[in-house]
Structure 1
Amino acid sequence: MTAAVLYRHGGPEALQLREDWPLPSVGPGQVLVRVSAAAVNNTDVWTRQGAYGLPGRPEAKAGWRGAVDFPRVQGGDIAGVISETAEDVPDAWVGRRVLVDPAFYADAGEDAVAVGLLGSEADGGFASYVAVDASRVHDMSASPLSDQELAALPVAYGTAMGMLERARIRSGETVLVTGASGGVGLALVQLAAARGARVVALTSASKAASLREAGATATLLRETEPAGLQSQLKAVAPEGLDAVADVAGGPWLEQLLPAMRDGARWAIAGAVAGAVITFDLRRLYLHNLSLIGSSMHTRAHFASLADLARVGTVHPRIAASYRLTELHAAQEEFLRGTHVGKITITP
């Protein structure tokens, strides 16, 4: 079969297209999924680059959870059709259109945290076929979403769902989303708006209109100097923020913490704008604020996302589509960061 195979940490040359990669074998409790569509994420690029570091060694080349076993077929986003099942899996699954949960979990509980990812700790969806545990697949036979829209969901929308659930975002609340035009950021805007929240999106001027189309009530320009940004935020959220869904990190915590009302929650799932920050701890404890780390989703979060996909509550925006043989070009466009929405891959 065709597969994009990562042989080591490095640049694009470390990821090679193979036309002769062996078809995955189906083990006990597994199904074979013929991939209809996949999508590009930061996780794919950072794993290739080895950009995650290790505890006490930020310069070390490593994947999200440490060492990566090479060679590895990347790709955490997978939508497809089941073509084969193991003997202990009902053959009624054959032919069903499915969405694949990419996470490995700490234990068997519905609320267990994610501790690994397809495409990193096991082979993923940048291939014609992938073998996965049957417990990962969610039936999408009735979903109105296209294959590419389904493939846009697992990593970005799963991460966003985890943030919104952990921050307890409810209808009627005002939530600020940083990095709102990226994959997770746009997912946050759509999912928060779908549950009735009032969304303020922090983005660039060129992408503000797209964020309003996605459901943002107001947009703030990240190019604005701090005093001006705080003044704009006061105008659009005069009573303060109930929550912040932050995928950027960096200076935003220090700058925007004063805009949070008592008892507000700040969920963070990224640090592209800076991993090491300073802020006034007194603002945190005197106002009973919550700072929540959120990495991906739980089984329960993903099941809720799958329910939304079945009825088409949210339609992911597809910014561009590439063939699997054009994966390098897809990642180049992804890294330029000029797009809004997801870049998808079809085999």
Structure 2
Amino acid sequence: MQQPIPSTMHAVLLTGHGGLDKLEYRTDVATPAPKDGEVLIRVLAAAVNNTDVNTRIGWYSKSVTQDTAASANGDFTRDAEDASWSGTPLKFPLIQGADCCGIIVNVGEGVDPARIGERVIVRNMLRGPVNGAPFACWTYGSECNGAFAQYTVAPSVDTWPVRSDWSDIELASIPCSYSTSELLMQRAQVTGKDIVLITGASGGVGSGAVQLAKCRGAKVIAITSEDKKQDVLGLGADEVVIRGSDLVRTLGKESVTVVIDLVGGSDWSQLLDVLVKGGRYAVSGAIGGPLVQLDLRTVYLKDLTLVGCTWQDDAVFQSLINYVESGKIKPLVSKVYPLSEIATAQETFLSKKYAGKIVLTPPK
């Protein structure tokens, strides 16, 4: 029997750009109602991502030059006019949460009522609000409310049923990180002939990238810390390079065909040095710092292809669902917190002491 839908719910409101004090846990937030083409989801689990922290601290603003961790401990005196995925000011209060696993409990006009009862995950790069326009960013939990709540609404077209024996917590670890990983694989055209170097390999996107590169038959060299080496090898990496190592000395010049980068930072130029002539570099993050030193001669003399990866077409999420349902990938969840402890969860996330994902669960 379906539970009655309450008029109010527990949720975390982001009240502005800033520190953890901007996360306000409330028990009296109005439960949203689905509009035309939308579904109402009872959230079962929601994972923490870099984008949640980056959005909170305003890291996407071009005025920010530090890495995520340093910026999170800053004074937050920055230009918020471009501090979002879309480059436009955010509207507060905002319910964040780019990852959602839940049950559809109601539908809006134009949505088949038979969808009620489906266990679903939400595509974080929403297509519905932008009518499927290419390279238009409308991000779940950024440009609209997300999953850090007991209930959330999402476009039906962006809400995908998943037939899997994974737990709700495991499924919640997938949408944002692993869809980004799959996007990187597709944009970099990774195949079984490639030797792929992955930075930040113990994080959510990195751990997904290791698995998805192996699904394609590629050889994977992963960069991570010594304490997470066994975790990454357990995901299928063929070789691990300890973060901070001299890549040219360790791997040799022109030793990899693809670089998947999530870090950026001061050692970035080494990534191009180890790429073969005609190699491909794909990036979707810069937690180690957004500003890098690039010698354009390296790019054109080696005929390198550099690809930025954010927007996703339908093929990305469909492929991801197929990998989950066929059991070809596995989640990596390290810690679970109740939604009310979101500040602690984000502090743990920023400490980078754990491999894989941190997941929040709202009250039932």
Please indicate the TM-score interval, normalised by the length of the shorter structure.
Answer: over 0.9
Q: Is the 8 A contact 2:126 2:158 kept in 1?
A: no
Q: What is the distance in 1 between the residues matched to 2:345 and 2:136?
A: 27
Q: What do the CA deviations read for 1:181-226 (whole angstroms, capped 9, x no partner)?
A: 11111111111112211100011111111111011100111232x3
Q: What do the CA deviations read for 1:250-282 (whole angstroms, capped 9, x no partner)?
A: 234311322211211000112222222223322
Within 5 Å, which residues of 2 pair with 1:53-68?
53-54=61-62, 59-61=78-80, 62-65=83-86, 66-68=88-90
Partner of residue 76, structure 1: 98
Matched, 1:275 2:290: yes
Secondary structure, in 3 states, of the residue corresponding to 1:44? helix
Q: What is the distance in 2 between the residues matched to 1:63 and 1:259?
A: 33
Change (3 A) 1:296 1:11: same
Secondary structure, in 3 states, of the residue corresponding to 1:116? coil
Partner of residue 143, structure 1: 164
TM-score by length of 2: 0.88
Partner of residue 112, structure 2: 90
Measure how far apart 1:299 and its partner are.
2.4
Q: Is the 8 A contact 1:158 1:296 kept in 2?
A: no
Q: Is the 8 A contact 2:100 2:147 kept in 1?
A: yes
Within 5 Å, which residues of 2 pair with 1:1-347?
1-54=9-62, 59-61=78-80, 62-65=83-86, 66-105=88-127, 108-109=131-132, 112-140=134-162, 142-224=163-245, 226=246, 229-234=247-252, 240-295=255-310, 297-347=312-362
Q: What do the CA deviations read for 1:283-310 (whole angstroms, capped 9, x no partner)?
A: 2112211011112533221111112122
Amino acid at match of 1:16: E
Measure how far apart 1:21 and its partner are.
0.7
Q: Is the 8 A contact 2:187 2:307 kept in 1?
A: yes
Q: What is the distance in 1 between the residues matched to 2:64 and 2:21?
A: 25
Amino acid at match of 2:249: S
Identity, in percent, stands at 39
Q: Is the 8 A contact 1:35 1:79 kept in 2?
A: yes
Q: Is the 8 A contact 2:254 2:273 kept in 1?
A: no
Q: Is the 8 A contact 1:159 1:296 kept in 2?
A: no
Secondary structure, in 3 states, of the residue corresponding to 1:10? coil
Q: What is the distance in 1 between the residues matched to 2:289 and 2:96?
A: 26
Q: What is the distance in 2 between the residues matched to 1:133 and 1:323?
A: 26
Amino acid at match of 1:149: E
Q: What is the distance in 2 between the residues matched to 1:280 and 1:7?
A: 41
Secondary structure, in 3 states, of the residue corresponding to 1:117? coil
Q: What is the distance in 2 between the residues matched to 1:329 and 1:276?
A: 29
Q: How many residues are paired up? A: 338
Measure how far apart 1:107 and its partner are.
5.2
Q: What is the distance in 1 between the residues matched to 2:266 and 2:64?
A: 23
Q: What is the distance in 1 between the residues matched to 2:273 and 2:55?
A: 35
Q: What is the distance in 1 between the residues matched to 2:238 and 2:336?
A: 28
Q: Is the 8 A contact 2:14 2:22 kept in 1?
A: yes
Secondary structure, in 3 states, of the residue corresponding to 2:299? helix
Q: What is the distance in 1 between the residues matched to 2:289 and 2:110?
A: 47
Secondary structure, in 3 states, of the residue corresponding to 1:340? coil
Q: Is the 8 A contact 1:145 1:312 kept in 2?
A: no
Amino acid at match of 1:275: P
Change (3 A) 1:312 1:179: same
TM-score by length of 1: 0.92
Q: What is the distance in 1 between the residues matched to 2:95 and 2:294?
A: 40
Secondary structure, in 3 states, of the residue corresponding to 1:331? helix
